[in-house]
Amino acid sequence: MQYVIVGNGVAAIGAIEGIRRRDRENPITVISAEPYLAYGRPLIANFLRGALSKDLLLLREESFYEKNNVKLLLGRKAVRLDEDKRELSLENGDSVPFDKLLVATGGKPFVPPIVGLGDNYHTFTTLKDARGLEEMSRTVKVALVIGGGLIGLKAAESLHDRGLRIHVVELADRILSASFDEVAGRIIYNRLNQVGIGLHLKNTVEEVISGREWIIGARLKSGEMVECQGVVVAIGVVPDLELLKDSGITCNRGVVVDDFLETNIEGVYSAGDVAETKDMLLGEKRVTPIWPNAYSQGLLAGQNMAGAQKSYEGSIAMNSIAFYGIPTISMGITNPPADGPYRIRSVVNEERSVYRKLVFQDEYLKGAVLVGKIERAGLLTGFIKKHIAVREYEDALMKDELTLTDFPKNVRQEILYSD
């Protein structure tokens, strides 16, 4: 039995741990285009800020692969999947046979066509990208970040900390529009504004203007000219499906998988940012590039590759991220349509950068946005995931200092002790 995993991100780590829960014997091969041991991808922001050395980026200790009998093919790109021969072709001409395969190639940055941009830009999703930006920051005084989502703002923060002046251009009327609502976006907007990061909302880059050798500025849709010498494109990521192009694996936006995370080809599974998986709250399958979900999907797919029959219960989108010392957490449904079945309760103190918003449907909690005070936020995750009726305890959930004393014993026992 040959297990093969394409990709070496957190879904791959989950899959190795999942396979090894059931099968200590058969070898695993990991093929990754990136030349590194698995690292904490979001940590590239800490790395770029200079707050983290390279060895601290590692997700598992160096001996992890050897201990788990994993053969690493790093810096090798799998370019073709032949499901009939059950083998992968690598860019260097080698082929790797498999019995069970996990496609965990993750996402890749989406870069729209922009006049004058060419290939004169950076992205910010890999350690290599972070190194490129580190290099750029030595010569560039002003950088323009296209995209005001999590990745763009983290790039902005890190580069700003390295002494650059930063402009962020965002198409929407607020930053962080994918994970946050207007109020939370405004609190972070104000904080970034305060530290001197320039934010241009409801705006796009019409043209990047270069001098003889390098970028000298950009013209925005508003007509404004922004002087800059470097551009970071952080509009979003899309599933990296390149390997599957000519294969028989069914893909929509991402790889289509069943409840066991298996694709239409038997023995071929997919997990993480490349896969379309069930969203627990929306009840539909979609690509949710969320860190914890990539790990748990990998863990489940790995167990199933090794013979288990575990069904994926679905994921909840969640993010925990801090901007200049303001911690934020968002989970589940954070910005429901006004005409939907949802009820919202919220408390805000914008001056103190504290915000708490809970989204309910019938008796149940469906989502939350927390800014500033995030202690024990996981209890909210628990109430959502365990589908516990909370109508009587809504006041308790709204307290900054969440405590289980406010709940009846049976609820408390379930939260604390049930599996």
Q: Which residues bind another protein (CB under 8 A)?
A: 14, 17, 20-21, 40-43, 46, 51-52, 56, 58-60, 291-293, 295-296, 299, 318-322, 327, 329, 331, 374-379, 381-382, 385-386, 402-406, 409, 412, 415-417, 419
Checking phi first, is residue 256 left (phi over 0); if not, alpha (psi -120 to 50) or beta?
A: beta
How many helical (H) and strand (E) elements, i.e. helices and strands, does the chain have? 10, 25
Longest dimension (CA), the chain: 72
Give Cα separations from 390 to 23, 197, 364, 370, 397 (angstroms): 41, 41, 6, 18, 9
Q: Would you state the torsion angle of the CA atoms of residues 185, 191, 192, 194, taken in this order, to the nearest 10 degrees?
A: 140
- Least Å distance between CB 270 and another protein? 18
**Nearer to another protein (CB atom), residue 129 or residue 170:** 129
Residue 213: partners with Cβ closer than 8 Å, 6 or more residues away: none
Least Cα distance to 220 among 236, 234, 207, 235 occurs for 207
Question: Residue 98: phi, psi to the nearest 5?
Answer: -140, 155
- Least Å distance between CB 14 and another protein? 8
- Least Å distance between CB 38 and another protein? 8
**Nearer to another protein (CB atom), residue 211 or residue 325:** 325
Helix (H) or strand (E) holding 413: helix 409-417
**Nearer to another protein (CB atom), residue 225 or residue 322:** 322
**Nearer to another protein (CB atom), residue 360 or residue 407:** 407
**Nearer to another protein (CB atom), residue 263 or residue 297:** 297
Q: How far apart are CA 301 and CA 312, in angstroms?
A: 9
- Least Å distance between CB 51 and another protein? 8
- Least Å distance between CB 369 and another protein? 12
Cα-Cα end-to-end distance for the chain: 32
- Least Å distance between CB 46 and another protein? 6
**Nearer to another protein (CB atom), residue 98 or residue 360:** 360
